Amino acid sequence: MNKLPYILIFLFFGCFINTYKATAQDITLFQQFNGRYDYTALGNTMNTAENGPFGVCTINTSSSASLFLNTNQTMVAAYLYWAGSDTGDFDIELNGIPVTAERTFSDALTGNRTFFAAFADVTDIVNSQGNGVYTVSEFDLTSVIAPYCPTGTNFGGWAITVIYESPLLPLNQLNVYDGLESVPDMLEITLENLNVFDNMGAKIGFIAWEGDQALSVNESLRINGSVIENLPLNPANNAFNGTNSFTGASNLYNMDIDFYGIQNNIAIGDTQATISLTSGQDFVMINNIITVLNSQLPDATVTIDDIETTCDSRELTIDYTVSNTNSTAVLPQNTPIAFYVDGILLATASTSITLPIGGTVQQTLTLTVPTTISNPFNFTIVVDDDGTGTSTVDEINEDNNSALENILLPTSPEVPLLDTLEVCDNEINLAFNLTQQELLFSEPLLTFQYYESFENASSMMNSITNPTNYESDSYPATIYIEVTNSNTLCRTITEFNLELLESPIANVPENLIACTIDETEIATFDLTTNEEFINNQSNIIIRYFETQTAPDTFQDEITTPELFENTSNPQTIYVTVENTKGCINTTFFEVLVSDCEIYIPAGLSPNNDGKNDVFNIINLEAHPNHILHIYNRYGTLIYIGNKNTGRWNGFSNKGTPRNRKLPTGTYFYVLYLNDTNTAGNTVLIEQTYTGWVYLQNN
């Protein structure tokens, strides 16, 4: 069946010929009721007399009508329509209760003559008040009605369509149509969504506005080409004449609430009917049409109650409900059901029982989605479908048989390759921030827990409580990470390693001294001279800095350490040593400019009196590369000294015997400075000192 359209309302406005009809709102299906339903209607005009060029211009602001339902008739819906001249009064009252239009309609004629209609669902009001008098008030057109009087188009009125249910009624299909369409000269309306099972008692009803009792030139109402009438109120040549077929009233000026029997004008099996209206003079607008036809058909619908899935599985368990609620007959057992994924048939089933009118049945099916189907996908259940898209049961509505849901099969989070986390073993804080691994996961809605063993991760017990500052008892260590999708609760366990990296050695070297024999305190140094001592390993990167900003943090890197010129005397040079693992160690030394002129004493007396106990050459320490040779008077080398031997104390360290106390006498010395970092006097770099020294060795 087709989807339910909106209720159609027929408005009729009386006017003269040669008027222009503006395009209004097509009449379409508003609501459908299937079961033991029928309807009645009540309403009243606001006019005090028929309108016309010489008619009364007075119009009321309220009027009343009565509703009476039998005790076996239960009201299920009440729809209020009101209409009139001009652009509209959309806030009125029903029995003193404010009502605001939920939908509005409009039409127009030449000469700035406009008309309106309005709709409101007043089911709650009518249901609470029941039978009795209903008064529409605060419907005030008095300020706008006067310009319409000269052309006889001044009108106002209201009507309530009341749908009720009764066990005494046959099974009917009741369709409510509404909109706003008008004549002259001719109007044809096709009513869809009919389903005629038996034409006995078939009827059609209207709410129409602006019909004039006195105007009936070529006025007719046809159903499927045949003129219909409802004597004595509605003769064949004057259908819209201010009457109410339900109450017999004939003084509804400029409005009609009528119904007609059409059992001879519609056939069993019809799914639509054509209504034709003609009027050679009277301007009529139709606001509402209702058809009541005997219908005995089921109406199968299906809803998806629950879809159970399992992580990393393509199996679905579907709980669904098949219903026959909006129907006039039972739904047979074994009505087929088809299950589709992205339009591909995966499985079929059938209803397990016969469903009575209003009945439901819950069923379950398990199926597996092929791996060829992408994830996510559209899952559709279609009842009354044999798997080929073909219906096997005639229904009231063939367009409401399916239920669709988009499904994302839950999968465990994808795990990227996790790097080993490393910390250098010389860092003050040897703790690891385990959570930095979370940055490698791209999926949203993930939560993370960390464990020291796979068993704990599997059972989700004893998780690491301080993952941002974690220290292991031993290294290397393995950490297990549990990753959970907080939406699907699917989880994955993976692992990564922790490793302590060996930091490079950074020995503290000797200071670099630049020699000068004047007052100069600026010199050029080759800082790399100390690298062999600082760390002589391969693949080591050594950098030099002038400033320390924090422990192990430096700035002002020296980019040409081979040609560094000091800015203070002395000046501390900070050194970083980095290995291939990225670990860094630090050290420092000083550069200084010193007076390097050599002063050589004439003798020494190593008698431990604290005076001249050694051959004390002044400023010798400024020449760390020096070599001192001592010869006896026969020219035999009896001593070699350097920065590591200390000053000569009158003992031999060469010849035979060694390490003996030398006798008193005069000895010849040769001092080689070998100084490559001397400033102020380049002669000192190559100068060799020679002379005699007297040894008093008592």
Cα 548 to Cα 689: distance, rounded to the nearest angstrom: 42
Q: What is residue 31's DSSP assignment?
A: E
Query: Which tokens sit at 379?
Result: 């899952």
Helices then strands, counting H and E runs in the chain, come out as: 4, 41
Listed in sequence order, the residues at least 6 apart from 155 whose beta carbon sits closer than 8 Å to its beta carbon are 13, 14, 45, 46, 47, 51, 59, 83, 84, 85, 148, 209, 210, 253, 254, 255
In tens, the pLDDT along 174-210 reads 999 999 988 767 778 777 766 665 566 788 899 999 8
pLDDT tens digits along 451-507: 999 999 999 999 999 999 999 989 999 999 999 999 889 999 999 999 999 999 999
Count of CA atoms in the C-beta half-sphere (13 A) of 193: 26
pLDDT at 677: 54
pLDDT tens digits for 329-365?
899 999 999 999 999 999 999 999 999 988 999 999 9
Ranges of the chain with pLDDT below 50: 1-22, 679-680, 682-683, 685
Rounded Cα distance between 511 and 528, Å, is 12
Per the DSSP assignment, residues forming a β-bridge with 580 are: none
Separation between Cα atoms, residue 67 and residue 65, nearest integer Å? 7
Pairwise CA distance, residues 514 & 619, whole Å? 12
Cβ burial 36-68 (10 Å sphere, 16+ → b, else e): bbbbbbbbbbbbeebbbeebebebbeebebebe
CA distances from 46 to 91, 250, 252 (A): 16, 14, 9
Q: What is the pLDDT of residue 56?
A: 83
Give the 3-state secondary structure of 287-303: EEEEEEEECCCCCCEEE
